[in-house]
Each structure stands twice: as C-alpha cells, then as structure tokens.
Amino acid sequence: MKRLLTATLTSLCLVPLAQAEVTRVGFATEPYPPFATTDASGELHGWEVDITRAICEAAELECKLVTTSWDGLIPALTGGKIDFIAASLSITDKRRETIAFSDKYYQTPAALAGAKGVELEPTSEGLAGKALGVQSASIHQAYAQAHFPEATLREYQTQDEANQDLFAGRLDATLADRLIIEQFLESKEGQLCCEMTGDVAHDPQTLGDGIGFGVRQDDDALRERLNEAIAEVRANGTYDEITARYFDFDIYGEPDT
C-alpha cells in the first residue's frame, strides 16, 4: 500500500513537467524586414524574432511563435488565442485602453520619404494635397490623420506596398519607421527613385513611447516576467550581440528615466 501511494504521488508530481505550459507569441503575417519576415518554409526570421526568443529564454518561457494578420493581433490577444504580441507594436494610450504593455524593447523615429529632387516639408502645409502612403492600423496612419489632415491619405496592408507605389510615382510620399524607410532607400528601387525627406516631429500621443510586448490587461505576472527578461538581456550583452547582426547602432533609443 505504501509503495502504491508513493508511486501515485510521484506520478502526480511529474504531471506539471509533462504538461509544460506553452506561451504563444503573436507575430504579424505581413513582412516587416528586418524585424520579422516569414520564409518559404513558414519559418520566422529577423531582429525582433531573435530578440523575442532571447527574452523568452531569459524569462524561462517555452514560447511558440505564431502568425496572424497585423490588424488581427490585438483581437487574437484579447480573445485568448495568443499570450503576447511581438510585432513592433507601439506603446500608445489608445492601445492601453484595450491591452497592457511590457517595458519598451526598442524605439526609432518616424520619417518621410519622397521622390528625389522634390521638396516636401514634413508639416501640414507642406503635405497639403499630396498623396501620402501609410500602413493601415499603424501609428503612422494615426500620426498622418492628426498632423497632415490636408494630405490625401492612402492606406496599405504592408509598408512594402506603399514603397512600391512611391517608386511607381503613385504617391508623393510615405510615412513609416525611419529604419524601414532607410532600408527601402538602400534597395535598387529606392536608390533610383527616392530620398529621405526627414524625421517628423515626435508626438507621443500618436507615435507612442517605443515598442513593447502587448499583453492582456489582467496578465500582470507575464508582463513583469517579460520586463525582467528585457532588463536582463540588455544588461548581459545579449541585446547588443543580436542587434549588431542587423544594425550598426543601438536601436533601443533613449534610456528610460
């Protein structure tokens, strides 16, 4: 009887190990190089993918990376289909009405690109009547609506589509993350057609306070676990090592105060 009881207790102790909880991490299906893209085999690659994996490891989380459409990420999170979002999601007050955020893990400015030789001031007056391309449901769309009301706004599912229309002459300018703009301008098409107009004035109300992981509002335990892991990879050199594979500068932005 004693041996039976011991065996039963041992098997119960092993149940949590056999049923280790998987943390589902949501990435956008749409490509967003160099942060996250999916190859032909369905495998995710990019800076944000590598950083997320490192943070999951530091947090001792068994993470499974899954993809869904960009505009479906927050509904997937609140609906319980994923556990947190890792898709260059800007920390804004508007989004805080629906979800919570970890501390930021990178922050870069927004910038405009336009045709070579065409002067475009990144102001309401400078863009009045101009065709301006933005990615739909992005902070750049929100910024353009707030600050460039006289521009003709054209929305795209991906920034790549906006870039292609800029190259084809169907847009006067596009507004996006500066790193994404720079990458486009380094491409064959970008070198032929376009140039950086400049950074736009920062507006935390629309552009937010950097990029953070999106979590459910009641998931304080996961949020704190991610915050500790972000701090750990920043402190132990992992963040810098991964960043150096993709960029020649620290994209974390200004240190938090």
> What residue ranges define each of the domains in the chain, with the CATH number in brackets?
22-107+209-244 (3.40.190.10), 110-206 (3.40.190.10)
Inter-residue contact 26 to 68 (CB < 8 Å) = yes
Q: What is the pLDDT of residue 8?
A: 45
> What backbone torsions phi and psi does residue 118 show, to the nearest 5 degrees?
-105, 120
Q: What is the pLDDT of residue 253?
A: 85
Rounded to whole angstroms, the Cα distance separating 58 from 42 reads: 25
**Degrees, nearest 5: CA angle 73-98-234:** 70
Q: What is the pLDDT of residue 2?
A: 43
**Degrees, nearest 5: CA angle 185-191-195:** 55
Amino acid identity for residue 83 in this structure = D
Rounded to whole angstroms, the Cα distance separating 57 from 13 reads: 24
Q: What is the pLDDT of residue 5?
A: 43
Rounded to whole angstroms, the Cα distance separating 134 from 142 reads: 9
Q: What is the pLDDT of residue 20?
A: 58
pLDDT under 50: residue ranges of the chain: 1-19, 257
In the sheet that holds 152-156, the strands lie side by side as: 152-156, 131-135, 173-177, 110-115, 194-199
